[in-house]
Amino acid sequence: MASNNLFIAILAIVVTLSLQGDNNNVVQAQLTTNFYSTSCPNLLSTVRSTVKSAVDSQPRTGASILRLFFHDCFVNGCDGSILLDDTSSFTGEQNANPNRNSARGFNVIDNIKTAVEAACPGVVSCADILAIAARDSVVLLGGPNWNVKVGRRDARTASQAAANNNIPAPTSSLSQLISSFSAVGLSTRDMVALSGAHTIGQSRCTNFRTRVYNETNINAAFATLRQRSCPRAAGSGDGNLAPLDVNSANTFDNSYFKNLVAQRGLLHSDQELFNGG
């Protein structure tokens, strides 16, 4: 297993280079780290202070914001579409299967947007705010820092169907995972590095019930531990939470990968990355 620093470095590079803009190459080419240097010079400090307050209050919030960014980027690029409520003209992404009853942190993004609008009205996109907040969340939980390129434009529509079809499910096989990441221009190496984001955050019982009761490539003691808070019967305790990383759920480190080697991946899709090969 590679060192902690290597995996964190790969993650930072992949997030920076692969998920920093719309799938349209022209839009990506316009992104720059100093896009708001004149129009909103205090943007980064404004975002960071609000994120810090939220993460200090509840560390899980950092993982939730990072997940929002990931789920946003997998649907037509990093355009803030996940933040849009349903309208008369489209059904948004928030109630898609990967997001319903699980996507959270919207209130933090709203609070950041309010603070940013007070400082520089009508300048900064919500898509950029989400991208910056995701980086700050990782840093505040002990992970790497990276320069976020900005200049995104906000989506004016959203697609529940695209969210249902494009975002990898916790039941995904290895081939399905590779296909999902490949569809957005990410390699298998990128996929493994980005999956390391599961070193923070929690998951609902309904997402890991089948794994802890039915799968064999799982540490027996770990399965028993997770069964205590996740009853076998569907519909019972579906919303009960367990940490994605049993060792350090609120610290961004490389324990996630060590857990997979020890067959202690919480989700089926996690353990698919390492099955003894």
List active site positions: 71
Half-sphere exposure of residue 164: CA atoms within 13 angstroms, side-chain side? 9
The response to whether 270 counts as a known ligand-binding position is no
CA 100 to each of CA 77, 239, 246: distance values in angstroms, whole numbers, following the listed order: 20, 12, 24
Q: Which residues make Cβ contacts (< 8 Å) with residue 70, sequence separation at least 6?
A: 19, 134, 194, 197
The response to whether 81 counts as a known ligand-binding position is yes
Strand, helix or coil at 150? strand
The response to whether 215 counts as a known ligand-binding position is no
Alpha helices in 141-173 (DSSP H): 160-166
Radius of gyration of the chain (CA): 18
The response to whether 198 counts as a known ligand-binding position is yes
The response to whether 79 counts as a known ligand-binding position is yes
d(CA 125, CA 12): 22
d(CA 200, CA 250): 5
Strand, helix or coil at 131? helix
The response to whether 87 counts as a known ligand-binding position is no
The response to whether 199 counts as a known ligand-binding position is yes
The response to whether 51 counts as a known ligand-binding position is no
Strand, helix or coil at 3? coil
φ and ψ of 241, to 5 deg: -105, 150
> What is 108-121 written as a DSSP string?
HHHHHHHHHHHHST
The response to whether 192 counts as a known ligand-binding position is no
d(CA 105, CA 101): 12
Token readout for 65 is 């914001």
Annotated binding site for heme b: 198
Annotated binding site: 72, 75, 77, 79, 81, 93, 168, 198-199, 245, 253
Annotated binding site for Ca(2+): 72, 75, 77, 79, 81, 93, 199, 245, 253
